[in-house]
Structure 1
Amino acid sequence: MNDVRPAVPADAPELVRLRNLMFEAMPAMTALAGPGPWQSTAERVLRERLAVPAEELTMPSFVVDDPQHPGRLAACAVGTLEQRLPSPGNPDGLFGFVFNICTDPGHRRRGHARACTAALLDWFDTRRVGRIDLHASSGGEALYRSLGFGEHSTALSRQRSY
């Protein structure tokens, strides 16, 4: 059973733990995964962003609890909601981004990631979000395509390490 629920501020440490597991599974990020200052910052951001009233939420997050270990999460999906200027193709100007989709290794192949992601997409749909983007790993691509994601032109991006 996939009992998906919205994440709450107390889930922040577990969301960060799952985020690190996600990084460990990504070949380009493996060397960077593990303890670091990013974790306390991520936990603080999650606590703050999940503590706002529902109508002000801009970082929707959905989780499945680990039934054998109270307080631990089995899976999660996190997103962001951004208000941009409306356009002919997106008259409300709402954009979503999906990230941090991870299932604890002991709970994989049970549909938890699909359930969390579907709940996140439903959340976006109820708010009439015109476009939702994500960066897919090769392992997650089939799941995302089955949920309606496809190729889209991507703008140039700039990345800096600080």
Structure 2
Amino acid sequence: MQPRPAVPADVPELIRLRAVALASLGMDPGSSDDPWRATADGWFRERLTGRSDVHCLVVGGAPGEPLVATGMAWVTYHLPSPRWTDGRRGYLDGIVTDEAARGRGHGRRIVDGLVAWLNGIGIHYVQLHASADGEGVYRAAGFTAGAYPGMDLFTRPAPGTAPTA
């Protein structure tokens, strides 16, 4: 099966696959009515319909039917440099294959399709954060360890505000 661009009818399946990804990372995605899912619905719909700097691919049935894999790429904006004069980079995220469909090359085809889309819009510096399960797929696609170490900072939300992550 070849990847196709996601459409709004795929959003429920994109959310389901997001929950699969979260569970594989050791995070409890909660129930099917967990509040993050309503936020994710709007998040996906806005990116699928209102953004030219985001591309989402899926593998599976026709729009609205079950999916077996998905992944996204978007443009990130950074300061220009001599090597990357416009400051644009690509970022891959949300690449997940349903457990029963793993090991069939779906993830690799999605990665290749997303990198091709980025190359087609003139972006030749692509970044991602790899899980242990996905690292082999990314290395096989040509990704290497980043030049700069990643760091994270988690701040506390304001009192009375629910955390967003």
Whether the aligned pair in 2 keeps the contact of 1:78 and 1:98 (CA below 8 Å) is: yes
Say whether 1:113 aligns with 2:107.
Answer: yes
Report if the CA contact (8 A) 1:18-1:102 is conserved: yes
Shift of residue 84 of structure 1? 2.5
Task: List per-residue Cα deviations over 1:55-92 (Å, max 9, x = no partner).
Answer: x522211011148xx61111101122123332112112
Partner deviation per Cα, 1:26-69 (whole Å, 9 max, x = no partner): 13x2xx322321111111111011113xxx522211011148xx
Instruction: Structure 2: state its 5+ residue gaps.
Output: 157-162
Other-structure match for 1:62: 57
Of 131-140 and 16-25, the range deviating more from structure 2: 131-140
Identity percentage over the alignment?
35
* 1:22 counterpart residue number: 21
Alpha-carbon shift at residue 155 of structure 1 (Å): 4.7
Report what 1:38 is aligned to: 36
Hey, what's the Cα distance between the residues in 2 that align with 1:154 and 1:133?
12
| 1:51 alignment partner in structure 2 | 49
Residue 78 (structure 2) aligned to one of 79, 84, 96: 84
Q: Within the alignment, does 1:157 sit opposite 2:152 as a pair?
A: yes
Cross-structure match for 1:135: 129
Residue 59 of structure 1 contacts residue 78 of structure 1 at CA under 8 Å; is this kept in 2?
Answer: yes
Q: Which runs of 4+ in 1 moved over 4 A?
A: none
How much is the aligned-residue C-alpha RMSD, in angstroms?
A: 2.0
User: Matched residues in 1 for 2:66 and 2:53: separation?
Assistant: 24
The one-letter amino acid paired with 1:43 is: D
Secondary structure in 2 matching 1:60: strand
Equivalent residue of 1:109, what SS?
coil
Distance 1:81 1:98 in 2: 9
Specify every segment of 5 or more residues in structure 1 that has no aligned partner in the other structure, as ranges: none
**1:84-136 CA distances to partner (integer Å, 9 max, x unpaired)?**
33211211211121111111122222111111111011111111224211111
Asked whether the 8 Å contact 1:76–1:101 carries over to 2, the reply is yes
Question: How many residues end up aligned between the 2 structures?
Answer: 154
Question: Partners of 2:43 and 2:83 in 1: how far apart?
Answer: 31
For residue 160 of structure 1, report the CA deviation from its aligned partner.
3.5
